[in-house]
Amino acid sequence: MALWQMGSGKKEIMATDYLNAMGVGAGFDTKAIVTALVDAEKAGKQSTIDRKTKDVEASVSGMASLKSSLTTLQTAFKAVDDKRDFNFSSLSNSAPTLINAQLNSSTAMPGTYKVTVSQLAQNDVYQSDSVAEALEVDTYTLNSAVNASGIVSFTYGGLAYSQAFLTDSAKTIDGLVAAINAGSAGSTVTAVAVNSTTFKITNDTGSDTQMTKGVIGGTSDGTTALSITTADTTAGIGASTVDQNGTSAATVVIQVGSAAAETITLAGGSTSLEDLVVGINNLTADVSARIVETGSGNYRIVVEGPQGSDNALTITDSVFGLQTTNTREVDTYTLAAGVAVGGSVTFTHEGIEYTQAFSSSPANTIVLLAAKVNAASGITAAAVAGSNVAFTITNDVGSDTQMTKGTIGGTTDGSSSNALTLTTADTTAGSDGNKIQAAQNAILNVNGLAISNATNQIDAVVPGLKLDLMEVSASAIVLSVGRDITLAKTAITNLVDAYNTFEGVIKDLTAPGSKTTDVGSLKTDAEVKAIRSKMRSFLTADSTTPGNTKDNMMEIGISLGKTGTFSVNQATLSTALTNYYDDITKMFSANTDDQITSSTADRGIAGDLVKQIAAYLAYDGVVKLRETSYAKTSSGLISDQKTLDTKMASIEARYTKQFSTMNKIMAEMKSTQEYLESQLENLPFTSDNN
């Protein structure tokens, strides 16, 4: 019987010679003989498979190392294969507390930008009507006054406050009240004496609908026990939870700019400030609401929309006071004298002139002037009834607290010596009701360019700079973007370091071997050796897109050593970057960005190297083809091993059967021999039987 165990591509024979183990057979070791025969027949083929398996495993490992090092090298050169990669920039900001400027060095362009901020963006902010909380008040009345020898004890919140009789009953109650207010309970309630038998306790928080009651102990005269009656004088109400529309439903409509209006519908019994805040915050529009305590026990809802003048809020609400009720501003203009025959009045408002000559009477002249103003502007002008010298202007929008005033010209009678004069009165100040802040755009100027933006974050005006406006500026803020040579030096030095690492890997993989070094796993692969030569050529040859003065890396301080690695002369590189920055940029990137893979145009040192490595790693590139070939070889060796193992198992079974049969025959012959010998020994006339 034979048992096989798999391991490292070999099979170990574990047969047991049962005939000999049981003391039968010819006595020779069947197992050892079979094992020796099978091993001898298997050895040559197994050695070949093992050698080839070791070789292909080494090649697979070597190709994986090469692929990894090529990928790392490609990543390093991708950092400078586009023109924008050389936008290594630094930023200085003359007023960082007014503008927070963030630099994206890959897209920033060197230059100086003078920024003036005349207005910050802001959003509409509305407040609801104020709602006050109601403090709960409980009244305690003793059944009788405390007299001489009496004492009153009041227990509240687990603490007892006692007061013995003090000259009269009223002072006794005063003393008890003082003890309550001075004790621990005084942090949550306020006690007040009403008369000689009554005091009140007010809940400071006002949030309970039923305050916990205290209890009375003691006696009125030393023997008669005191008792108490309690009345809920005022029920406490929390301002944020009490319904604002009783048992009726409430509806609030909110619109942001010209977007679709959204409606919050609150059911009857659920019209508290908290209910409305939840409803507003659940809208899809960019609107938020919160409850704010504006004073002790007084609360409002604050509603805010998004920034920008186009995002003004329109709120329809008849319950909470959020709806805007504009008070339009009214200014009254009064001429020092009426316009007479020959006279003419000229009224200038917001850059527009309205002229009216004398017409039948001073009063009619003012009426006609008002009519001209109404026909041409967004304001309302009206002659003051009963006056021939006064008229009013009303601002239709009603959002200004001070309307721009107009001016008067002309004469009363045509004589230049009788010029008209004017007095102006702010009859009514305009108001936006519960709007406490109006939406507006940020307004700024960048190098003379006027910009209006809905938010205070500006990221599309200055290349590579994201501006966060924080304050209005009285003078220009200077933002200077300059080249950072240090960053450029670091990027190029990193390229050299990446190549040197690659060189170390591929040098080991293709090493011929010696007494002190191992043979490289890919030393016989000519195409891998060609990769090494090709990569080195990118760093030593002229760029396919040379600059006007600088053509290759050797000319900017990078040199090749005897060991095959490159070194950087930092001083030479600094000088080259300072004086020939544009040349170096072109030399590496061809002054292009994002060239497509299929393009045949020159790409510069970095671009060409990146494209070449992409070709090596492509589906039809040398790396992928080698990986496919190794996988196929490995699969074939596994198949060969299985075939060999199957064949050896068959051979072992055949040998075992043959030797077992022979052993049995030998055992039978031996048994016959022993029988014959025994019979011969028992014949007459043998020497033993004489």
pLDDT tens for each residue of 100-144: 999 987 788 889 999 999 999 999 999 999 998 878 888 999 999
Q: Looking at the structure, do residues 147 and 223 belong to the same domain, yes or no?
A: yes
Assess whether 105 and 175 both reside in one domain. Answer: no
167 belongs to a structural domain: yes
In the chain, what is the straight-line distance between the N-terminal and C-terminal CA atoms, in Å? Answer: 51
Q: Same structural domain for residues 418 and 478?
A: no
The per-residue pLDDT of the chain, averaged, comes to 87
- pLDDT in the model for residue 331: 86
* Residues facing residue 90 across a β-bridge: 482
| pLDDT 10s digits, 242-297 | 889 988 999 999 999 999 999 999 999 999 999 999 999 999 999 999 999 998 78
Kindly tell me if the per-residue pLDDT of 18 is higher than 70. Answer: no
Q: Sign of torsion, CA 156 161 165 166?
A: negative
Decide: pTM greater than 0.85: no
Residue 686's pLDDT is what? 57
- Alpha-carbon distances, residue 586 vs 76, 84, 308, 582 (angstroms): 17, 11, 43, 6
Examine the pLDDT at 16 and tell me if it is beyond 60.
no
Per-residue model confidence as pLDDT tens digits over 469-483 = 999 998 999 999 988
Q: How much is the average pLDDT of 538-552? A: 95
Last residue of a domain, one of 432, 449, 466: 432
Partners of 234 in the β-ladder: 137
Domain assignment present for residue 194? The answer is yes
303, 288 contact by CB (below 8 A): yes
Mean pLDDT for 5-12 is 42
pLDDT, position 19 = 44
Confidence of residue 49 (pLDDT cuts 50, 70, 90): confident
- CB contact at 8 A, 521 and 59: yes
Torsion, CA 178, CA 184, CA 186, CA 191, rounded to 10: -50
Residue-wise pLDDT for 296-324, tens only, equals: 788 999 999 999 999 999 999 999 999 86
Degrees to nearest 5, angle at CA 144 with 140 and 147: 120
Same domain, 140 and 114: no
Confidence of residue 494 (pLDDT cuts 50, 70, 90): very high
In this structure, the answer to whether residues 111 and 147 fall within a common structural domain is no
**In 3D, which of 112, 115, 94 has the Cα closest to residue 444?**
115
- Least reliable range by pLDDT among 152-156, 214-218, 350-354, 686-690: 686-690
Q: How confident is the model at residue 33 (pLDDT cuts 50, 70, 90)?
A: confident
pLDDT at position 497 is: 96
* CA-to-CA separations, 29 to 32, 663, 675, in angstroms, rounded: 6, 10, 25
Give me the number of domains the chain comprises. Answer: 3
Does residue 582 sit within a domain?
no
pLDDT of residue 10: 44
Strand, coil or helix: what is 490? helix
CA separation for the pair 124, 323 (Å, rounded)? 13
pLDDT for 23 beyond 50: no
469, β-bridge pairs: 99
- Residue 1 confidence (pLDDT) above 50: no
- Do 114 and 207 fall within a single domain? no
91-105, 317-331, 603-617: which range is least confident on average? Answer: 317-331
Domain membership flag for residue 116: yes
Would residue 514 count as lying in a domain?
A: no
Domain containing 192 equals: 134-234
Partners of 689 in beta bridges = none
Based on the fold, state whether residues 104 and 198 are members of the same structural domain: no
Whether the per-residue pLDDT at 17 is higher than 80: the answer is no
- CATH number, position 407: 2.60.40
The rounded distance, in Å, linking the Cα atoms of 152 and 170 is: 12
Domain identity same for 202 and 110: no
Domain boundary among 234, 264, 289: 234
Residues 142 and 206 in one domain: yes
- One domain, residues 197 and 222: yes
d(CA 355, CA 407): 12
In a domain, 63, yes or no: no
| Ranges assigned E (strand) in 211-287 | 215-219, 228-234, 250-256, 262-266
The dihedral sign for the CA sequence 59, 61, 67, 70: negative
- Whether 312 is covered by a domain: the verdict is no
Instruction: Provide the 8-state DSSP code for 226.
Output: P
Q: Radius of gyration (Cα) for the chain, nearest Å?
A: 52
pLDDT-based confidence at 402, cuts 50/70/90?
low
- CATH number for 202: 3.90.1160
93 and 153 fall within a common domain: no
Task: Answer yes or no: is 178 within a domain.
Answer: yes
Q: What is the pLDDT of residues 351-395, one digit of tens each?
A: 889 999 999 999 999 999 999 988 876 678 899 988 999 999 887
The reply to whether 229 and 154 lie within a common domain is yes
Last residue of a domain, one of 167, 201, 234: 234
- Looking at residue 463, its pLDDT comes to 86
Q: What pLDDT is attached to residue 14? A: 44
